[in-house]
C-alpha cells in the first residue's frame, strides 16, 4: 500500500485545480510507493477556500500560509499563488523543512529566484517547478529522440506561444482573476507567463542560451482597473519576441503574445538538426511531427505521430492506442515522476535550480528589450 | 451537498476503469445534485476485484453479481462485462429495481435487446447505454448545428471506424482479454463493436436508417486459442461495410475493420447537407470540421473548430480555451448528464430503447452480408 | 530534333483545352523523339472552333470530324467530345489508321467499349484513354510503392469523388455546357463521370474487381431544360456508391456525388495493406500520405510526402524541390508517356482495352443499383 | 489580335525557364491586348543558349547582352542573370529605352538599387521586378482581405523561408549553378535570396518597416570551390533572422535558412489583426488559412480556403473549382498583369522603386547583424 504524502496547497485558482486534480488522479493510473493526501488548502478567504476544499476533498482549510507551513502533518507545500508571493512562501517553507512544488515562473526575477534556490538547497528539501509541458507525452518523446542523437548537429530552434484573450481594451487589469496584467504581481507580462514555458522546454531540449536580442510591446496602454474602477496604466508586456544563440551554435527565434487572433494557447516549437527535425503544437498536443532524413528519398516526409501507443512516454498508464489524453494529464505525469523520485531518492527536473536558468533568460530578454542591445544570459 | 448515489460495478476491465474514473471525477468538475459513491465492484475472481477496488476506492467486493443486485445499499448497477452477459444481468437488475448503466452494445441481438428494454420499462428504472462518443464536445456540437437546421436538407452520411490491432495472425482468440474475437461472447466482430458506435451516432444525428446492404469478411480464419492452446476457427467478422438509405432520403456508407494499418481508433463521420457539411475524427477528437455555404464566396472553406471554448458543450467545466481534453472525459460527461437527469427527472439518451435501434441495424447488416440482399432495419 | 506528330483534335471544351495545353507544353519540359503539331481542331460550328484555333495555334479548322479523319496530314485523333460520340468517331478513326487518344470514359457501356477495343486492335493503331489521374506524381508514386510489395497483403481499398456543383435545383440539364446531366449524351451521371476515375485508379493499383453491390440516387428529379426551357426529367445518377470485392481478397467502398457541400473535386483513395497504407487526395494532389509499419514503434506515423523531389515520378522535369505542380500537368505527363511509347514501340496504359475493364465495373454497378443484387464484373 | 511585344531574355537558367514558360502560356489563358514574342535569348555561351532557344522557340541567340539591348526589334529586356549583373544591364537597357523585367532581388544593395530606379525613371520605361509570390492566388486573396480592412488593427506579422539544400558540407561554392553561395555574385546569402521574398510580401501586405534587429550565421565556413577545386571560405549568410517593427505599430519576426531539415521551400507568413488572421504556406500554395472573429462563438475556427474558385484572383482563367495550379503560374499571372498594364497605361507592382524598399530592409538587417544594434530601414 502506498505511503501517504500530506499535501498543503496554497491557492485555489486555475492552477490549484490543475494540481489538485493531479493529486487525486495519480494513483489511479500510476503504480507508486507514495500517494498524495489532500491535507489542507490555504487561502486568505476561508469563504473561498472552503467550497474548494469540499469539492476536492481537502481535509482542512487554512487562511494563513505561515500557519500551514508550520503544521507538523504537512509534508509538501504546493505554491499556486501569484508570482510575487512565490519567493517568500518558498523560502519559509524550505526553512520549515517542507518539500516544495512551485507553480511557474519560479520568481519575479533571477536574483529573487537565486535566493529560493539557495533556500531549498540549504534546507535539502525536494523541490520542483510546474513547467508541466515537459510531461506532454509528445514533448517527452521529442526529448528522447533528441537525446538519442537522431537529429545530429542542431541548427535551429523556434518557439511561439500565441493567445488572443486580451485584444479587447475592456479586459481589466488587476484584481484576483486578472493579476496577470498587473506588473507588480506578475512581474512581467507574456515574457514571464508564456515565454517562460517556451524557454524552459528549449533549455531542456537544446541546452543553454548564450545571448538574446529582445523586443516587447504594450499594445493597450491603459485599461479599466478591476479594483479601482478607474483607468490604469498597463505596465506589463503584451507581446515579446527575441532572437537567441544557443551554446551549441544553433540560432533561435522566440515569440509570445496575447494579441494573435484565432490562437488560444498555440504553444509550438520546432527544432532542425542535420539529420532530422521535430515540431510540436499544444493545440494538438497528442501529436508529434517528425522528419527523418534517411532511407528511400521518394518516401521521406514529415510524419504525424499519434502519441498514444504503449511505447510512448506515460501512455501505457492510460487507455489504448488511438485514444488521446489532454492538458490535465501533464500535471499527473509530473507528480507521478515526483513521487517516483521520492521513492528512488532522485530529484526529477525541473528543480528550482533548473527553473532559475529560465529566469535568467527572461531577465536578459527584458533588459535587451529596454536597451536595444544583445544581452548575455547570466 | 450532493446526495450519494451508490454504484455497484460489474466488471473491472478497460471499461470498468473508464466508468469508475468518470464516477470519481464527475463532481470535481460538474456541479450536481448527486454524487456517485463507489459502493462495490463485482467480479468472479476476488483476487482480481480486490486490487481494482483498492486502486479506485470501492468500499467492498462481490464475486456474484446476483448478490450485488440484491444489496439494499446499491442504487445503480453498471454493467461492464462482455456482451453475452448484458441481458441476463440487466433484466435481473431491473427486476430488483436498480438503475442500470450498460456498456455498449446493448445486447447480442435485437430480440435480446428488446427483452432488456421491456424489463427496464416494466420496472420503471433509469437506464442508459454507454455510447460515450455522443459526449465528445465536438460531436455534441455537431448535433447542435444539425438541430439548428444549419445544414439544410441532408444528402450524405459516411462513417468509418478503422483499427489495425488484429492484423497479426498470432493474436489469439478468446479468453478474458480477447473475448472480442470470440463470437459466442461478443456476438459479432467489428459490426457490434465498432460499427455499433458509428450507427448510434448516425441515428442520433441523422435519424432512422431504412435499408442496408452489407458485406463482411474474416481475413484470418484460424487463430491460436487463448485458452485451448489449439488453433481455433474465427467466427467473428474482421471487417464490415454497408450501404444505407436513411428515412430522410440521404445515402450513406459505413465501414469498420481491425485491418487498416496505421489507424488505431480512427472513428470518423461526415454529413453533407444542402447548406453545409460537418466532419469529425476521433484521432483529433477536440476538433470539429465545419463548412458553411454562405457569405463571400472567396472566403468559404472548411474551418477547423478547436472545441475548447466556454460556449462549447461541456467545456466551461474544464480548463481554459486552447487546452484540450481527451477520451476519458466523454464518460464523465455522460455520467454528469445522467446525474442531472436524475435531479430533473428526465431520461438522458441513449436509453436502452434508443440503443435497441442500433441493434436492429446491426442485425440487418449481418443478415444482408450473409444473404447478399438489401434488408430493412426492423 | 523531335519528329512532328500531327494532331487532329475533335472538341474544344474543357478537355480540348487541357489536352491542347499538354501538346503545347510537353516538349518544353520533356526530352522526346516526337513533338505534337497542332494541325487541326474540329467542331460543328466553325465560329467556335476558329477562336480556339487562334488562341492555341491550330493550323486549321474542320467542321466535320469524318473529313478530319480522312486527312492525310493527320497522325493522331484526340476525341474530346461528349461520351455518346466516342465510339463512332473512334471506330472510324481506327479504320482510317489513325492513332487515337480518347477522353474518358471510353464508352456509353461495356458492349460499346468492346467494339472500340476490337476496332483499334484490328487496325493496330496506338490508343490510349485520358484517365489523367494515374499521372499525378503522387499517384504514380503510390503505384511504385505498391508494385515494390511494400504494403504486403492488401485488406482494404476505399475511394470517393465528391463534388457539390449540382446542389441547386436551378442548374439546368442538357445543352452544350451541361451535357453531363443529360443521360442520352453522358450515359450515366456520376458513375461514368467520377466513379470512372476511381475505378480506373483502383484497377491499376489493386487489380480486378470481382463483385459489386451498388446504390444510386437522383436527388433532384426535375430541372429546367437548357434547350427546351421546360422542366425536364433528370435521368442520370446524382450520387452513386458501391461495395466491392477485389480478386485479391480485399474489400472496398466507392462513392461519388455532386451533392457533397464543401467539396469541389475531392477525389480520394486509400489502400491498407499488412505492412503499410497509402492515402491520396486530389485537393492536395502534390502530397502522398504514407504509413509504414516498421522500425521503432515510437516513431511510426503517417508521413506527408511532398512529392516535388527529383526522385519522384515526372518531377525532375519540372522545378526544384518544394515547388508544386497542379492539375494540368497530369495531361502533360500522359502525352509525354505516349510519345515515349511511340519512340520505344511500347503501348502506355491505359489503352482502350484497359479502359474497357472500367466500363464493365460501371455497368455492373448500375445494374446492381437497379436490381438490388450483387453483380459480377463481367 | 494581340499586338506583339518582342522579348529579349538574358539568362537561360532556372529563372529563364520560368519566365519563358510564362511568355509562352500567358495568351493561352488570359485575354490580352499584347502577346510576348520570343525574339532572342542571350548568354555568354552560344552552345548553351542555342539548345534553350530551340526548346522554347526563341527566334535568335545573342552572346553579348549589350548587343541585344541595342537591337531595334527588342521591346523588353528580361534580366535573369545573377544578382551582381542586374544593375549594369538594367541601367544600360533603360538608357536604350527598353522596358525591363528584372529577376529579384533588384540589386546587390540599396545604393545600387537606387541607381537602377533613377535610370528607369529617367528613361520613363516600364519596369517590374519578379517577386512572383505576390501573384499566388492565395496571396493575392490575402491582400484583398487586408485591403478591405477585414483584419482591423494589425498586431503581428511573421514570416519564414526554410530550405535544407546546403546542409551537406560537400555542396560546392561558386560556378554557374551555385553562384548563390558566392557572395561576390549573390551579394548576400539567404537574406537577399529568401528573406527578400518575405520582405517584399510583408511590405506589400503590411506597409513599411521602421526598424530591425538582425542575426546571421554561416554554419559551414569552408566548402569545395566549384571552379578552383580547392577549399574556399564561405562568405554568404547561411541563415538570417530579424525582429522588426512596422510603421503601423505591429511587431514582426522574420527568418530564413537553408539548414532546416525537412523543408524544401517552406515560405510561410501569418498576420494577426484585431478581427482576424491570415496564414499561408508555399508548400500548399493553393490554400489560404483564414480566421474571422465574428458570428457564433461556437463556430469560429481557422478555415482552409481552397483557392480554386472563379471568384478567386486569377482562377477564372484556369480550370474548374477544386483543381489546383502550381508554382509556375505565378509568373504567368505577373506577366499577364504587366501586359494588361501596358494596354491600360498603368504600372503594375512591384516596380523597381517598390523593390528598392526591400533592398533597404535587407541592408539594414545585414548591418544590424554585424553591429548588434537595431537599425532604421533608411
Please state the rounded mean pLDDT for residues A69-91.
97
Q: Is B262 within 8 Å of C276 when comparing Cβ atoms?
A: yes
Among candidate residues C131, C147, C179, the one where a domain is terminated: C131
Query: Would the pLDDT of D227 be above 90?
Result: no
DSSP-derived pairing of the beta strands B302-306 and B287-292: antiparallel
| C-alpha of C169 from chain center | 27
| Residue carrying C-alpha cell 473549382 | D321
The whole-angstrom separation of Cα C271 and Cα B328 is 31
Question: In this prediction, what percent of chain D has a pLDDT beyond 70?
Answer: 99
CATH of the domain at C236: 3.30.360.10
| pLDDT band of C254, cuts 50, 70, 90 | very high
Same domain, B141 and B286: yes
Name the residue in chain B with its Cα closest to that of D305: B301
Question: Which residues of chain C have a Cβ shorter than 8 Å from any chain A Cβ?
Answer: 141, 144-145, 288, 290, 292, 297-306, 309, 311-312
Cell reading at B193: 463493436
Do residues A56 and A82 touch, judged by C-beta distance below 8 A?
Answer: no
Q: Give the 3-state secondary structure of C118-136.
A: HHHHHHCCCEEECCHHHHC
- Taking the alpha carbons at both ends of chain C, their separation in whole angstroms is 46
Task: Chain D: give the shortest CA distance to residue A99, in Å.
Answer: 41
Could you tell me the sign of the dihedral formed by the alpha carbons of A161, A164, A168, A170, in that order? negative
Q: Which residues of D touch B (CB under 8 A)?
A: 141, 144-145, 288, 290, 292, 297-306, 309, 311-312
Residue C19 pLDDT > 90: yes
- Picking from C218, C251, C266 by the largest number of B CB atoms within 10 A of its own CB, the best residue to mutate is C251
Q: Please tell me the distance from the alpha carbon of residue D289 to that of residue D279, in angstroms, as a whole number.
A: 5
> What's the mean pLDDT in C193-204?
98
C109-148 confidence digits (pLDDT tens) = 999 999 999 999 999 999 999 999 999 999 999 999 999 9
pLDDT digit string (tens) for C40-67? 999 999 999 999 999 999 999 999 999 9
pLDDT band at residue B182 using 50, 70 and 90 as cut-offs: confident
**Do B149 and B50 share a structural domain?**
no
Q: How remote is the C-alpha of C339 from its chain's centroid?
A: 18
Where does the pLDDT of residue B229 fall: very low under 50, low under 70, confident under 90, or very high at 90 and above? confident
In percent, how much of chain D has pLDDT > 90?
93
Instruction: Map residue A246 onto helix, strand or coil.
Output: strand
Q: Are D35 and D338 spatial neighbours (Cβ–Cβ below 8 Å)? A: no
> Are A67 and A201 in the same domain?
no
Compute CA D180 distance to the chain's CA centroid, rounded to the nearest angstrom.
Answer: 15
- C-alpha of A217 from chain center: 23
How does B350-372 read in b/e, with b if 16+ C-beta sit within 10 Å?
Answer: bbbbbbbbbbbbbbbbbebbeee
Is C324 found in the same domain as C184? yes
Q: What is the mean pLDDT of residues D70-76?
A: 98
With contact defined as 3+ CB pairs under 8 Å, the chains touching C are: A, B, D
**Residue B203 sits in the same domain as residue B121:** no
Residue range A349-354: mean pLDDT, rounded: 98
* Residue in C290, C298, C309 nearest the CB of A297: C309
Where does the pLDDT of residue D168 fall: very low under 50, low under 70, confident under 90, or very high at 90 and above?
very high
Are D147 and D77 within one domain? no
For residue D312, give its domain range: 135-376
**Which chain B residues are within 8 Å of C219, Cβ to Cβ?**
155, 249
Q: Do A323 and A345 belong to one domain?
A: yes
Q: Is pLDDT of A227 > 90?
A: no
Contact C58, C16 (CB under 8 A): no
8 Å CB contact of B155 and C374: no
* Min Cα–Cα distance to chain A from D99, Å: 41
- Residue that the C-alpha cell 530529484 belongs to: A347
Whole-angstrom distance, CA of residue C190 vs CA of residue C181:
9
Name the nearest CA neighbour of A362 among A6, A110, A176, A1.
A110
What is the rounded distance in angstroms from the CA atom of residue A337 to the CA atom of residue A325? Answer: 18
Kindly state the average pLDDT of the residues B104-108. 96
Phi, psi of D177 (to 5 degrees): -75, -30
- Does B295 score more than 70 pLDDT? yes
- Please identify which residue in the block is written with the cell numbers 525582429: D243
Query: For position C162, what pLDDT does the model report?
Result: 98
d(CA A52, CA A307): 33
Task: Say which residues have a Cβ less than 8 Å from residue A147's Cβ, sequence separation at least 6.
Answer: none
- Ramachandran class of A82: left when φ > 0, alpha when ψ lies in -120 to 50, beta otherwise: beta
CA-CA distance, C94 to C24, in Å (whole number)? 25
Helix (H, G, I), strand (E, B) or coil at A98: coil
Do B121 and B233 fall within a single domain? no
pLDDT digits (tens, 9 = 90+) for A10-52: 999 999 999 999 999 999 999 999 999 999 999 999 999 999 9
Could you tell me which chain D residue has the CA closest to the CA of A301?
Answer: D262
Query: pTM to 2 decimals?
Result: 0.97
**DSSP per-residue codes, D66-100:** HHHHH-TT--EEEE-S-GGGHHHHHHHHHHTT-EE
Q: Are residues B365 and B273 in the same domain?
A: yes
| Cβ contact A149:A245 at 8 Å | no
Distance from CA of C122 to the nearest CA of A (A): 41
Instruction: Give whole-number Cα distances, D183 to A164, C265, D103, in Å.
Output: 42, 46, 17
The number of CA neighbours under 13 Å toward the Cβ of C18 is 23
The secondary structure of residue B103, as a DSSP letter, is P
- Percentage of chain A surpassing pLDDT 70? 99
| D127-129, strands of its sheet edge to edge | D60-62, D34-42, D3-10, D76-79, D99-102, D127-129
C279 and C369 fall within a common domain: yes
Q: What is the pLDDT of residues A88-128, one digit of tens each?
A: 999 999 999 999 999 999 999 999 999 999 999 999 999 99
CA distances, D324 to each of B362, C265, D286 (Å): 41, 10, 6
Q: Domain boundary at C97, C131, C165, which?
A: C131
Residues D152 and D111 in one domain: no
Phi then psi for residue D188, to 5 deg, are -135, -175
Smallest Cβ–Cβ distance between D158 and the set A213, A255, A291 belongs to A255
Enter the C-alpha cell of residue D128: 517590374
Whole-number pLDDT of residue A245: 98
Interstrand relation of A302-306 and A287-292 (parallel, antiparallel or unpaired): antiparallel
Report the interhelical angle of D329-344 vs D14-29 (nearest 10°). Answer: 60
B243–C155 C-beta distance less than 8 A: no
Residue A124 φ/ψ, nearest 5 degrees: 65, 35
Q: Tell me which of D112, D132, D152 is where a domain ends.
A: D132
Joined grid coordinates for residue A91 = 523560502
Cβ count near D348 (within 10 Å): 20
Per-residue pLDDT, averaged over C343-355, amounts to 97
pLDDT at A34 (0 to 100): 98
Longest CA–CA span in chain A (Å) reads 66
Closest partner residue to C260 (CB to CB) among B217, B272, B275 is: B272
Name the pairing type of β-strands B251-257 and B154-162. parallel
| Beta-carbon count within 10 A of B347 CB | 14
Model confidence band, residue D13 (pLDDT cutoffs 50, 70, 90): very high
Residue B88: closest CA among B110, B66, B64 = B66
Residue pair C83/C107 in contact (Cβ under 8 Å)? The answer is: yes
Residue C332 and residue C235 share a domain: yes
- Non-local (6+) Cβ contacts of B357 within 8 A are B203, B208, B377
How far is C80 from C52, CA to CA, in rounded Å?
14
User: How much is the pLDDT for D80?
Assistant: 96
Counted domains in chain B: 2
Question: DSSP character for B282?
Answer: G
Q: What is the dihedral of CA C198, C202, C205, C210, to 10 degrees?
A: -170
Per-residue confidence at C173, pLDDT binned at 50, 70, 90?
confident
Which CATH number covers residue D23? 3.40.50.720
Q: Is D83 left (phi over 0), alpha (psi -120 to 50) or beta?
A: alpha
Query: How many CB contacts within 8 angstroms connect chain B with chain C?
Result: 114
Cα of A300 to nearest chain D Cα, Å: 8
Chain mean position to CA C48: 25
Amino acid at each position: 500500500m502506498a505511503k501517504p504524502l500530506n499535501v498543503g496547497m496554497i491557492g485555489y485558482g486555475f492552477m490549484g485545480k490543475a494540481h489538485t486534480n493531479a493529486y487525486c488522479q495519480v494513483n489511479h493510473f500510476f503504480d507508486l510507493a507514495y500517494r498524495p493526501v489532500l491535507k489542507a488548502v490555504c487561502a486568505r478567504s476561508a469563504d473561498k477556500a472552503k467550497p474548494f476544499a469540499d469539492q476536492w476533498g481537502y481535509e482542512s482549510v487554512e487562511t494563513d500560509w505561515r500557519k500551514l507551513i508550520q503544521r507538523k502533518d504537512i509534508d509538501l507545500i504546493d505554491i499556486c499563488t501569484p508570482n510575487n508571493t512565490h519567493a517568500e512562501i518558498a523560502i519559509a517553507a524550505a526553512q520549515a523543512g517542507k518539500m516544495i512544488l512551485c507553480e511557474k515562473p519560479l520568481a519575479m526575477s533571477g536574483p529573487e529566484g537565486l535566493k529560493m534556490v539557495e533556500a531549498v538547497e540549504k534546507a535539502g528539501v525536494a523541490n520542483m517547478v510546474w513547467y508541466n509541458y515537459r510531461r506532454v507525452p509528445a514533448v517527452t518523446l521529442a526529448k528522447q529522440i533528441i537525446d538519442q542523437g537522431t537529429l545530429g548537429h542542431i541548427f535551429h530552434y523556434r518557439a511561439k506561444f500565441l493567445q488572443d484573450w486580451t485584444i479587447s481594451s475592456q479586459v481589466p487589469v488587476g484584481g484576483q482573476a486578472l493579476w496577470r496584467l498587473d506588473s507588480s504581481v506578475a512581474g512581467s507580462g507574456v515574457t514571464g507567463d508564456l515565454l517562460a514555458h517556451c524557454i524552459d522546454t528549449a533549455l531542456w531540449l537544446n541546452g543553454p542560451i548564450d545571448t538574446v536580442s529582445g523586443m516587447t510591446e504594450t499594445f493597450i496602454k491603459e485599461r479599466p482597473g478591476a479594483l479601482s474602477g478607474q483607468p490604469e496604466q498597463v505596465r506589463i508586456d503584451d507581446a515579446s519576441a527575441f532572437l537567441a544563440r544557443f551554446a551549441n551554435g544553433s540560432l533561435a527565434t522566440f515569440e509570445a503574445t496575447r494579441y494573435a487572433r484565432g490562437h488560444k494557447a498555440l504553444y509550438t516549437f520546432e527544432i532542425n538538426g542535420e539529420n532530422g527535425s521535430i515540431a510540436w503544437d499544444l493545440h494538438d498536443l497528442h501529436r508529434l511531427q517528425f522528419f527523418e532524413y534517411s532511407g528511400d528519398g521518394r518516401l521521406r516526409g514529415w510524419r504525424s505521430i499519434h502519441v498514444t501507443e504503449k511505447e510512448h512516454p506515460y501512455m501505457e498508464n492510460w487507455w489504448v492506442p488511438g485514444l488521446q489524453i489532454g492538458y490535465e494529464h501533464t500535471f499527473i505525469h509530473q507528480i507521478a515522476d515526483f513521487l517516483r523520485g521520492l521513492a528512488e531518492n532522485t530529484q526529477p527536473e525541473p528543480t528550482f535550480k533548473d527553473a532559475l536558468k529560465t529566469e535568467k533568460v527572461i531577465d536578459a530578454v527584458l533588459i535587451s528589450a529596454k536597451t536595444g542591445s544583445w544581452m548575455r544570459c547570466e
